[in-house]
Amino acid sequence: MIASVSGRVAAVGPDQAVIEVGGVGLAVSCAPATLASLRVGELAVLATALVVRETELTLYGFADADEKEVFEALQTATGVGPRLAQAVLGVLRPDDVRRAVATEDLNALCKVSGIGKKGAQRIVLDLKDRLGPPLGTGTGVVPAPRVEQWQDQLRAALTGLGYGLREADEAVIAVEPLVTDPPSVPVLLRQALAVLRPS
């Protein structure tokens, strides 16, 4: 098991980053908020989980160990694989997930693309006794997910790919009419790149 990686950020893409570790570039799949915190050329430390499938090995990266813990717990729920678990963490912070499960807030979980009411009910049922209470102090109400941060995440991803702030701002403005609810930063990044590099 690869528990963490530490190295220079070689590249940042729509849904993964490449971290150079000991002369080897490791492709690490990350949620948009984690990708937005990475800068090409700078050092990064990510908690990681290696998911082994018959035809592929996928390394998932997280901002901290708590996010990784929730990612692994989500996969113990019926019908939740690593991609969907990562999608949950792309919309909700770890404590938001704990609070949604603890309070049976299905609406919060349904904000994640790929999770309907039945799926949310299964997650609540399966994780009720596994996630525990939120670690931070809260009101018991699930905060709004990080959907309002898409502009900053997209801007950071574009500058991480080497674009200037002016170009990034123009691209953010250009894709704003295409924003869905909740916003998908990887999709918006692809659209922004199409604006910046027209065929």
Tens of pLDDT along 35-45?
A: 888 889 999 89
Give the model's pLDDT for residue 149.
66
Asked which of 93, 127, 161 is the last residue of a domain, the reply is 127
Reading phi first (left if > 0) and then psi (alpha if -120 to 50, else beta), residue 22 is in left
Range of the domain at 119: 65-127
In a domain, 133, yes or no: no
Q: Residue 111 in contact with residue 145, Cβ under 8 Å?
A: yes
Q: What is the pLDDT of residues 143-195, one digit of tens each?
A: 444 434 678 788 878 887 888 888 888 888 888 877 776 777 788 888 888 88
Q: Residue 91 in contact with residue 147, Cβ under 8 Å?
A: yes
**58 and 20 in one domain?**
yes
Give the model's pLDDT for residue 136.
66
Q: What is the pLDDT of residues 1-22, one digit of tens each?
A: 788 898 999 999 888 999 999 8
**40 and 12 in one domain?**
yes
pTM of the model: 0.66
**114 and 73 in one domain?**
yes
Phi first, then psi, for residue 100 (nearest 5°) are -65, -40
CATH of the domain at 173: 1.10.8
**88 and 51 in one domain?**
no
